[in-house]
Amino acid sequence: MKKKVFRGISFLLMAAMVCQGGITADAKTKAKLSVKKMSINVGKTKKIKIVKKNKKAKYTFKSSNKKIAKVTSKGVVKAVKAGTAKITVVETYKKKTKKVGTVTVKSIDKRVLPPSKTGSATQSPVQTPTAPTQTPPANVSQPPAMVTETPAATTELPLELQPITYDVPSDFDKKLNGIAYGKAVKKQYYSTTTGKKRNVNVIVPPDYTTEKEYPVLYLFHGIGGDEDEWLQGNPAYVVGNLVAEGLAKEMIIVIPNCRARANDKAVTEFSLEHYAAFDNFINDLRDNLMPFIEENYSIATGRKNTAIAGLSMGGRESLNIGLHMPETFGYIAAFSPGFGVFAYEANGVKEDGLFTEETFRLPDEYKDHTLLMINNGISEGGEDALGGQCHKVLEMNEMPHLFYVTEGGHDFKVWKHGLYNFALQIFQ
């Protein structure tokens, strides 16, 4: 009897303690930080990501030194000046608080160097084309000079080139029964480069969850297109079918408008002014779009998780951006790249080109750790087209890369084929 009374009293005491908040089954959190350290260039932002969140809990962020690094209520950290600060993350649930962890933030003050006069890979990433009779518009901003900094550990991305698949399945770009696909959702972000809100299509995997981090593929359109052009090529089906077969990794596909100027409406226009808007996209991508994607989606960061590809004019820009930002992009592809990679005269336009034969290369520390792929259609000239010219220069410069020619012309038959082979290679 005494034992029963004692057990009853013990149970009541435990119940009272639970009610009073002294003990809670939810006191232990499973939430954790995806990283413990991060480096941020002064003026730039990165988001602290929490995995295995308690959806009913509240998470707060506090900086140890706001003069070094500020943090918003959503965990977006902005580097203010050079130095080190710690961001403490706390979970609050049922009036109980628990420390999730601490992120050490290193703010880096990059020193901008003047552009090189030799046209080397360390000069300004974008050179606005000029001609005696034409001047680029004032709203196309000139990018800052490239910054020299210690490259990322490139050994994290060993170069393993897979064989090109020439005979793709007949239904590789079709919607198949029993397979779930991501859908393109149009989003808007503010661009400081153009001074306006801009559209972007984002395709996430069908089972997308914030509990997982996904690599990102940035996919660029051609001269007369916009953020909707690639939808004609069914990228969600091309990639989704490969994922379903276990041949490609799940990824987020970002399809922007690459015409970085105030009037960014789709138009086919052969002019230096129009081409300058495409070349200006490197600024919008780096300063606006990529931070937007990082803040709003659960992505895996770093060059081994970031790819860039484009068709036609978008291929010109994927090569331009990829080769000037090798620390950011571990995978680069150009499908039927458009004019302007090298000096040319066509469609009534003459340009010096974004590269010379000597500068069309990756820095040595990246050349063996970057997937670089180019394709062309037989009907657009095959190896004699610009893609073939790029291939020959890369060979001359001893740059590891993939190049192939397939059936088709300057059209989606070739571009979808390229996307298929590129998706097989990346994020593996």
How far is residue 264's CA from residue 241's CA, in Å, rounded to a whole number?
Answer: 32
Residue type, position 142, single letter: Q
Going by the DSSP 8-state scheme, the letter that residue 128 receives in this structure is -
pLDDT at 3: 46
Check if CATH label 3.40.50.1820 holds for domain 26-108: no
Cβ atoms of residues 347 and 275 within 8 Å? no
Of 3.40.50.1820, 2.130.10.10, 1.10.3720.10, 1.20.58.220, the CATH number of 155-425 is: 3.40.50.1820
Task: Write down the pLDDT at residue 162.
Answer: 74
pLDDT over 90 at 116, yes or no: no
In this prediction, residue 42 carries a pLDDT of 81
Residues of each domain in the chain carrying CATH 3.40.50.1820: 155-425
Residues 389-424: pLDDT tens digits? 999 999 999 999 999 999 999 999 999 999 999 999
Which of 35-39, 260-264, 339-343, 350-354 has the least mean pLDDT? 35-39
* Residue 264 pLDDT > 50: yes
As a whole number, the mean pLDDT across the chain is 84
Closest CA to 304 of 154, 96, 195: 154
**Confidence band of 79 (pLDDT split at 50, 70, 90):** confident
| pLDDT at residue 120 is higher than 50 | no
Closest to 233 in 3D by CA, of 317, 163, 312: 312
Beta-bridge mates of residue 101: 89
How many helices and strands in the chain, by DSSP H and E? 9, 19
Give ranges for CATH 2.60.40.1080 in the chain. 26-108
Cα distance between residue 67 and residue 84, in whole Å: 10
* pLDDT score at 38: 83
Tokens of 189: 């972000």
The yes-or-no verdict on residue 383 having pLDDT over 60 is yes
Note the pLDDT of residue 269. Answer: 93
- Are 153 and 122 contacting, i.e. CB atoms less than 8 angstroms apart? no
pLDDT tens per residue across span 277-292: 999 999 999 999 999 9
Where is average pLDDT lowest: 45-59, 106-120, 352-366? 106-120
Q: Residues 258, 220: contact at Cβ < 8 Å?
A: yes
Residue 109: the pLDDT is 64
Closest CA to 374 of 296, 292, 315: 315
Q: Is 73 left (phi over 0), alpha (psi -120 to 50) or beta?
A: alpha
User: 11 — phi, psi (to 5°)?
Assistant: -65, -40
* Mean pLDDT in residue range 84-113: 82
Q: How remote is the C-alpha of 49 from its chain's centroid? A: 17
* Whether pTM exceeds 0.85: no
> What is the tens place of the pLDDT at every residue in 205-242?
999 999 999 999 999 999 999 999 999 999 999 999 99
Q: In the prediction, which pLDDT does 41 show?
A: 75
Write down the pLDDT at residue 49. 86
Query: What's the confidence (pLDDT) of residue 266?
Result: 95
- Structure confidence at residue 29 as a pLDDT band (50, 70, 90): low
Structure tokens belonging to residue 123: 């000069």
* Dist. CA 83–CA 405, nearest whole Å: 50
